[in-house]
Every structure is written in C-alpha cells, then in structure tokens.
Amino acid sequence: MPSKPTKTKKDAAKPTGSAQSVPPRPNWPPISPVLPAADLSLATLLADQVLTISQLWTTSLCKTYVNFLSTLPLTTTPGKPKRGEAVRVNDRFQVDDPIFAERLWSSTALKEIVENPVIDGEALNERQKRELWGGEALGLNSNIRVYRYSKGQYFDQHYDDSNNISFPSTSSQSAVPAKTTWTLLLYLSSPATGCKGGETIFHPEAPSKREAAPPPIVAELEVGMALLHRHGKDCLLHEGREVTEGEKWIIRSDLCVKR
Ligand SMILES: O=C(O)CCC(=O)C(=O)O
Ligand SMILES: [Fe+2]
C-alpha cells in the first residue's frame, strides 16, 4: 500500500506566468456531436470524492479532438520537477482560454449535470449541492491543460491544489471572485483507441493510524468519460499510471465555485 509522502507533492499545473511565452488561443473544433444530459448520468467511483460521467463527449468528438490536439505545440515536461512538485512525465499544452472553458461547460451536458446532480438515483437539494461542489458552481477554470502520455510516461502521486481565481461574469462587466474545488479530467483515449495502462489511481487514506488504508480506486480509461475529483485540502493522493502502449490524451480543467 503506498504511504502518504512526507512532503506533499503538488501538481505543478499552475497558469503560465508572464515570464513564459503565452500560446495563442487554439482554433478548437466545435464541441459536437454531444449527447443530451438526459442520456447521461453522474456515477460514483468513490462517494463524495470521485465522480464520473460516461460519454460526456462522444467517440467521434474525441477522435476529432485527438487529431486536432496532435497539431498543437505540446512541450515535454522537464524530467526534474521543482522542489515539492510531483514528477510528471508527459507532453503538455496549457492555455488560458475562458471562451473554450465556457463551451466545455455549456455546450456539453456538464453544466446541466453539475447544476442538477443526481447521486445514486437521488436529486440533491440546494444545501447538498453546495456541500458537494464546495459552493455555488459557476463553470470551468479558463486554465485549460492538454496532456499526451506516450509509452513510458506517467504522472507520479500528488495532490491537486485549489486556486483562487477571478471568474469572468456573463451578465456584468465585473468578474466574480471564485476558487477551484474539483479537478475535471476528460479522457479522449482508452484501450479501444490502443492505449494500455494510464489509469488514474486514487489512494484513500486510512481512517485512523491503527487501520489499514482502503484499497486504491482505479479509474479505467474510457473514451469521452469525464472524471471529477475533489481537490485542495480534500484532495486524495492520486496518480496517472504509466502508459504501456499507445497514447493517452486528456483535457484538464477545474470546477469553479463562488468564493
Ligand atoms: O493523467 C491522469 O490520469 C491524472 C492527471 C492529474 O492528476 C492532473 O492533471 O493533476
Ligand atoms: Fe492531479
């Protein structure tokens, strides 16, 4: 059983600072075709911690995107992480794109599912909803990350940080103070596209020092599946397992709530 590292490794995926070159917003393909919310559901992989939505993106949309994302200037992460950062060995593209984040939220079933969550067949009331998402859900973080893992690449055990951000407001000029509470991972690859390995593994903590830690939770890759997991102070230790064949593509953002 993997023990909690003494030093908390962090996901280094912070927005790119001004010192680095800022890539232009990509000319993303339309987010279509997609299935309506009525055809999809929120499933629990680990209660209150890890939730999934199968087929949030259709297989054909994922295919279009993998072809498109392959044309982006991805950069391979340096092998040696900064002190306190997790080892992430993959190729990455990161961009601040509020328009794409909004499309990813509103033109898929994600907004409707997050705003009207049904867990184990039960619709959550307003209080339960706020508790689940950590506040009033606003949409997705404009910090969009694209990861490609090829054979031998992986993301070592780490925790994802919560970040305070300024969320662009649709109704008025002023932005809303917000924070990120859940990580969103959108999987574009799976064994069906030739990718082996690459599962996202969560390591729940032991309930007490005298008890054994529960077994790890494995999120198997599934084309078009979205995975949401709680982050910040409630984040579980997790990792992207090594890819042993083919390529694993994911798009990452975060759920934002009012601060
Ligand atoms: O690639 C994965 O499966 C995990 C990615 C991840 O943990 C992250 O982006 O913070
Ligand atoms: Fe992570």
CATH number at residue 215: 2.60.120.620
Average pLDDT of the residues in 194-204: 98
**73-90 pLDDT per residue, tens:** 999 886 666 777 777 789
CA 235 to CA 49: how far, in whole Å? Answer: 8
Predicted-assembly ipTM surpassing the 0.85 threshold: yes
85 vs 210, residue with greater confidence:
210
Q: Residue 24 — pLDDT band, cuts 50, 70, 90?
A: confident
Task: Tell me, yes or no, whether 253 lies in a domain.
Answer: yes
State in Å: Cα 185 to ligand 1 middle. 7
Give residue 2's pLDDT band: very low, low, confident or very high (50, 70, 90).
Answer: very low
Q: How far, in Å, are 87, 161, 178, 219, 220 from residue 154 at the CA level?
A: 8, 19, 30, 15, 15
* pTM of the predicted model as reported, rounded to 2 decimal places: 0.92
Answer yes or no: are the C-beta atoms of 224 and 187 closer than 8 Å. Answer: yes
Residue from 11, 94, 157, 185 whose mutation best tests the ligand 1 pocket (most atoms within 8 A of CB): 185
- The CA-atom distances, in angstroms, between 239 and each of 83, 114, 116, 235, 236 are 18, 24, 29, 12, 10
In a domain, 223, yes or no: yes
**Would you state the structure tokens that stand for residue 231, as one six-digit string?**
């982050």
**Is residue 240 within 6 Å of ligand 1 at its C-beta?**
yes
159 band by pLDDT with thresholds 50, 70 and 90: very high
CA-proximal residue: ligand 1, atom 4 (nearest): 240
Domain presence at residue 175 = yes
Which whole number is the average pLDDT over 89-117? 96
3-state helix, strand, coil in the chain (%, to 5): 15, 35, 50
Whether 111 maps to a domain, the answer reads yes
Count of domains for the chain: 1
CA dist 78 and 18 (Å) reads 19
Mean pLDDT of the chain: 91
| Residue 68 maps to a domain | yes
Establish if 25 belongs to a structural domain: no
Indicate if the pLDDT at residue 250 is higher than 70. Answer: yes
> What per-residue confidence (pLDDT) applies to 244?
97
Domain range for 91 is 38-258
Rounded to whole angstroms, the Cα distance separating 112 from 115 reads: 5
Asked whether the predicted pLDDT for residue 141 surpasses 70, the reply is yes
Instruction: Write b or e for each residue in 44-58: b if 16 or more Cβ atoms lie within 10 A of its Cβ, otherwise e.
Output: ebeeebbbbbebbbb
- Mean pLDDT on 69-75: 95
> Closest ligand 1 atom, CA of 198?
3
Least distant ligand from the CA of 143: 1
Asked if the structure places residue 167 within a domain, the reply is yes
Residue 53 lies in a domain: yes
Q: Give the 3-state secondary structure of residue 30.
A: coil
Q: Is residue 238 within 6 Å of ligand 1 at its C-beta?
A: yes
